[in-house]
């Protein structure tokens, strides 16, 4: 039995690969659950609130996967002797990416998403409707929010039909992309800070 167990064990490299794979996928998702919005934290509203509820099941695993990639990137660069000028350039580029993606997310959310307050339970739901304002008779003279609440009865299928499936899908795509890019950029910014600290530590201790 002992011989069978010893033969069944993975080689050291494969074992380490499995451990790293689990660490950079499962552990990253679990560790960042509050930040990603999967776990509620008192007095903290996650960026996930920008995303309509029915899109969150797509956004959360996608963001977790991207954060895992960022973690691998940070680990790789942290294990090499990168220069201070490289860290400075990367920080500037990633910071610009984070700012642009955040602005894109805000623009899309403000112009192409409607938030509807439900008086019955006091909750607020949001729908991707696109950038257009249809003028069908069913909602003539009504705002988009009033149209959704009074005429379309919060039915996602009716909302997509009224505002246009292409417009709705485009809005959803822009929301997912801008959110994911911002989250990964922010994670990468923190990663560059960690790498910079390691560079300074190595300068102080050349043997590290």
Residue 34 located in a structural domain: no
- Percentage of the chain beyond pLDDT 90 is 32
DSSP secondary structure letters along 25-61: IIIHHHHTHHHHTSS-BTTB--GGGGS-HHHHHHHHH
Task: Over range 166-191, report the average pLDDT.
Answer: 94
The gap from C-alpha 109 to its chain's centroid, in whole angstroms, comes to 15
Name the residue range of residue 192's domain. 49-204
**Residue found by looking up tokens 């990416």 in the block:** 97
Helix (H, G, I), strand (E, B) or coil at 134: coil
Q: Report whether pLDDT(32) > 60.
A: yes
Residue 9 located in a structural domain: no
Residue 40 located in a structural domain: no
Residue 27 located in a structural domain: no
Distance (Å, whole) CA 151 – CA 204? 68
Question: How many residues are there in the chain?
Answer: 208
Specify the number of domains making up the chain: 1
**Residue found by looking up tokens 């530590």 in the block:** 201
Residue 193 located in a structural domain: yes
Number of helices and strands in the chain (H, E): 9, 2
Query: Does residue 183 contact residue 47 with C-beta atoms inside 8 Å?
Result: yes
Residue 18 located in a structural domain: no
The pLDDT score that the predictor gives to residue 2 is 47
Residue 31 located in a structural domain: no
Q: Report whether pLDDT(7) > 70.
A: no
Task: Over range 34-47, report the average pLDDT.
Answer: 79
Instruction: Encode pLDDT of 120-151 as tens digits.
Output: 666 788 999 999 888 778 888 888 988 888 88
Q: Report whether pLDDT(4) > 60.
A: no
Residue 35 located in a structural domain: no
- The two beta strands, 113-118 and 123-128, are antiparallel
Phi and psi for 45 in degrees, rounded to 5?
-105, 115
H or E stretch covering 116: strand 113-118
- Closest by CA to 126, choosing from 26, 190, 55, is 55
Q: Report whether pLDDT(169) > 70.
A: yes
């Amino acid at each position: 039995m002992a011989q069978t167990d010893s033969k069944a064990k993975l080689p050291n490299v494969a074992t380490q690969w499995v451990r790293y794979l689990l660490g950079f996928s499962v552990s990253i998702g679990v560790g960042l659950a509050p930040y990603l919005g999967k776990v509620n934290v008192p007095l903290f509203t996650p960026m996930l609130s920008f995303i309509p509820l029915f899109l969150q099941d797509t956004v959360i695993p996608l963001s977790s996967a991207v954060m895992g990639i960022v973690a691998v990137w940070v680990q790789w660069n942290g294990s090499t002797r990168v220069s201070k000028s490289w860290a400075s350039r990367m920080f500037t580029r990633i910071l610009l990416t984070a700012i642009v993606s955040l602005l894109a997310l805000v623009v899309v959310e403000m112009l192409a998403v409607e938030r509807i307050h439900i008086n019955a339970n006091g909750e607020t739901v949001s729908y991707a409707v696109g950038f257009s304002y249809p003028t069908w008779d069913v909602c003539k003279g009504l705002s988009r929010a009033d149209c959704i609440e009074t005429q379309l009865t919060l039915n996602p299928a009716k909302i997509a039909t009224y505002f246009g499936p292409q417009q709705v899908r485009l809005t959803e795509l822009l929301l997912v992309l801008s959110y994911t890019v911002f989250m990964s950029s922010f994670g990468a910014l923190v990663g560059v800070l960690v790498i910079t600290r390691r560079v300074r530590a190595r300068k102080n201790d050349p043997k590290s």
